[in-house]
Amino acid sequence: MIQNMYVSKVRSEFEFWNASGGADHFYVYCHSIGRDAASKHQELHHNSIQVTCSSRYFQRLYIAHKDIGLPQVWPRQHEQVLNPPDARYKLVFFAGRVQNSLARRDLLEQWKNDSSFDIFSGSSSFPYKEGFRRSRYCLHVKGYELNTARVSDAIQHGCVPVLISNYNDLPLANILDWSKFSVIVNERDIPHLKKILLSVSERTYLNMYKNLEGDYIESLGDISVSDFTLADI
């Protein structure tokens, strides 16, 4: 199997792997086909740190407190000046497929006719970027898995992320206090979503908006793929 060949090559060329059996190394797989392949190599799966886009506790190949969830980040031009809160005239934005998600179907059914919500099944009727720029809150709702780039897109455009997914291991939770720049909502509370968001005080919202520009968020954007080499992995 290719994963056996790869690990054998790393083991023969990089002595640090052998010192710990790979326990202080990490590998990156975003989608299920890669995770499934890695899981067939016991040393890689049980010892090394898996960096994955989907980090639900019930995701069978994810080992909580060992592995790390990291949202996808698409290379986009950085917003030099974020749209200010008083220019964000929509409460909520979400656009995405609903076929593979009961939570997304519930969201669409519950809120599709509310004028303060921009909810779309599939693509939005306006440029995708504009949905993030004109909305206060942008939803990140579990599909087949919770592994899209919506969180990073929301942060980049100053739209407070709302994560709707049960049993999700929040990315970099040992570093980031997600309560300071996002809202976490249980899937069963989708019917109460508007009430939950409107109950957030203006001061709290403005603090979350400000924290999206904070040093501890911006520092994530300073990391380039070129910062990592095979030796790191």
Task: Identify the helix (H) or strand (E) that includes residue 117.
Answer: strand 117-121
**With bands split at pLDDT 50, 70 and 90, how would you rate the model's confidence at 79?**
low
Domains of the chain: 2-70 (no CATH), 85-219 (3.40.50.2000)
Least trusted range by pLDDT, from 109-123, 134-148, 176-190: 134-148
The answer on pLDDT for 92 being more than 80 is yes
Exposed / middle / buried, residue 178 (Cβ in 10 Å: 0-12, 13-18, 19+): middle
74-83, 94-103, 184-193, 216-225: range with highest mean pLDDT: 184-193
Kindly report, residue by residue over 203-226, the tens digit of the pLDDT: 999 999 999 876 445 555 544 444
Q: Which tops the pLDDT comparison, 42 or 121?
A: 121
With a CB cutoff of 8 Å and minimum separation 6, the contacts of 104 are 96, 97, 98, 141, 142, 143
Would you state the pLDDT for residue 216?
45
Q: What is the mean pLDDT of residues 103-123?
A: 92
Name the pTM for this structure. 0.78
Least trusted range by pLDDT, from 87-96, 136-145, 219-228: 219-228
Kindly report, residue by residue over 155-198, the tens digit of the pLDDT: 889 999 999 978 777 877 778 888 999 999 999 999 999 999 99
State the chain's maximal CA–CA distance in angstroms. 61
Calculate Rg over the CA atoms of the chain: 19
Sign of the dihedral defined by the CA atoms of residues 18, 19, 20, 23, in that order: negative
**Total count of residues recorded for the chain:** 233
Q: DSSP state, 41?
A: S
152-169 burial: b if 16+ Cβ within 10 Å, else e: bbbbbbbbbbbbbbeebb
Would you state the pLDDT for residue 225?
43
Between CA 194 and CA 113 the distance in angstroms is 13
Q: What does the mean pLDDT of the chain come to?
A: 81
Residue 46: how many CA atoms within 13 Å on its side-chain side?
Answer: 5
Nearest to 29 by CA among 68, 1, 64, 60: 68
